[in-house]
Amino acid sequence: MEIDYTYTLVAPEKELNHPSTTALNPVDQTNPRFYTQLILCFPISSPTAAQSVCSALRSSLARTISDIPILSGSLEPEMKIRTSGRLSIVCSETSGVPFHIRGLGCHSAISYADIMQEGYPIKDFDADRLTPVDAVAYDSSPAVMIVQANFVAGGLLLAICVHHAAMDASGISAVLQIWANHSRTMAHNTLSQTTISSDALDRQALMPLDNRQAEPGDYPQYKFLNSYPNPTVSPPPETQLPFPLMTSKIFHFTLDQLIELKAEASQMVPVGHWVSTHDVLCAVLWKSIAEARTKQQDRDDMATSTLSFQVDGRRRINPPLPTDYVGNANIYTSVTRPLTSLPRADMGAIALEVRHAIQRLTNDRIRDIVELLGSAQVATDVHAGGKHFLGEDLAITSWAALPLNGLDWGPTVGTVERVRVPYGTFDGLCIVLPRLEDGSLEVVVGLVSLHMERLVEILGRLGIHSA
């Protein structure tokens, strides 16, 4: 079947109780109004399989929506105070997930085999062609989820776009696992028993109780603009154009390299303490990018650099949330160091600071943060602290634990061989992609092009190369 472009709206398999409104909690409300965009790569052996793959994806998605009705909704401003910036998820009788299908065979000389042979380079995952919506949610009533199935010669590049106010990457992973489960069981004509927890859709656990104890300055990993009674910062001035050239690359850390780096860092950690692979990876990236961004002679002795990252709060609060909680439970934390000494600092010492920042996110502190976020007058005036874009700071988000590589969608759709994000130009952000089946990790890094050239050289000295 030769596909050019088609569009359908996938409705839930079972009739739902509509209309319905889902209130979002402060952790949802204060997330960036962006779409999280993933591209799942599947090989397809037969060029005539596109029709059956599309049918399997749509029918299993319809069953998934029945399990998780908010997927079919849209994000609407709260009716009580429309200027609050707060959103709710609204579903109606006509709601569904927009499902786009695009055939790229006649538009691109690149085949799936070419992409695979080159290591799935990020440059081949063009956002304009492969994703149905911009990363920034410009629509006044954006859909919660939008899908685009892209067929290339010999493969499927399945783009999943989910609004960040609806759920974090762990929530998306839970959705994809349920969708894959339905795809598998429907291919075998067996009844699918959903694995979603009974309270996975309940956002009440992270609702504020109006007993705020903290002030904005107590948690520098968040910044509050001047709509807050006690702001920590003023609105930023307009950034002057033109921006410098920026690019993104994927760096590959083999399992052996990760083991060696962790062993080296652990030797520098005092007895009685420990660091994880995540902590060490953050230390390596932060040190290396700080070195790449600024030449020694140009550094301000008083300047600092802040590493910001998110920690999954699902199991850190009491009582814990289910691991398949379909919402946002990621809480920001951060570490700050003098910029001049950062490139020369012990990797183990930095990794231990990262570990301590994670350990500080106890149940009480997370509850404190929820109350603080919920007390902001305008939800969109709360942002992650630090200046990552064209600044000295760095943000790292990790999807390493998401079990998406090797996820089996059944004989019709196949098995995910690789997870990618669309190619984009940005600065000061690293995304650790889901761990590969051989234990290695891939990291997407966005930097100013000149700094990226230096980073390639710096990481190359460690034997870490880019695709």
> Residue with structure tokens 């409104």?
21
Question: Residue 200: CB partners within 8 Å, gap ≥ 6?
Answer: 174, 322, 324, 325, 326
DSSP string, 94-157: T--EEEEEEE-TTT-S--HHHHHHTT--GGG-BHHHH-SS-SB--SSS-BSEEEEEEEETTEEE
Q: What is the pLDDT of residue 194?
A: 63
Provide the token pair at 24. Answer: 């979002």
Name the percent of the chain lying above pLDDT 90.
75
Counting beta carbons within 10 angstroms of the beta carbon of residue 345, is it exposed (0 to 12), middle (13 to 18) or buried (19 or more)?
middle
How far, CA to CA in Å, does 460 sit from each of 167, 251, 293, 450?
36, 10, 16, 16
Provide the token pair at 403. Answer: 């079990």
Name the percent of the chain lying above pLDDT 70.
91
Q: What is the pLDDT of residue 182?
A: 96
Distance between CA 233 and CA 227 in Å, rounded? 10
Write the pLDDT tens digit of every residue in 57-114.
Answer: 999 999 999 999 999 999 999 865 556 789 999 999 889 999 999 986 544 567 999 9
- Would strands 429-432 and 394-398 be described as parallel, antiparallel, or unpaired? parallel
Write the pLDDT tens digit of every residue in 14-26.
Answer: 887 767 999 999 9
Write the pLDDT tens digit of every residue in 405-414.
Answer: 999 999 999 9
Specify the range with the lowest mean pLDDT, choosing from 66-80, 247-261, 360-374: 66-80
Distance between CA 46 and CA 397 in Å, rounded? 36
What's the pTM value of the predicted model, to 2 decimals? 0.93
Write the pLDDT tens digit of every residue in 110-163.
Answer: 799 999 999 999 999 999 999 999 999 888 899 999 999 999 999 999 999 999
Provide the token pair at 261. Answer: 């780096």
Provide the token pair at 404. Answer: 């998406």
Which domains does the chain carry? 5-201 (3.30.559.10), 225-402+422-466 (3.30.559.10)
Half-sphere exposure in the Cβ direction for 244 (13 Å, CA) = 14
For residue 278, which of 253, 301, 298, 296 has the smallest C-alpha distance? 253
Cis peptide before 244 (omega within 30 of 0): no
CB 135 within 8 A of CB 127: yes
Asked whether residue 393 carries a pLDDT value surpassing 60, the answer given is yes
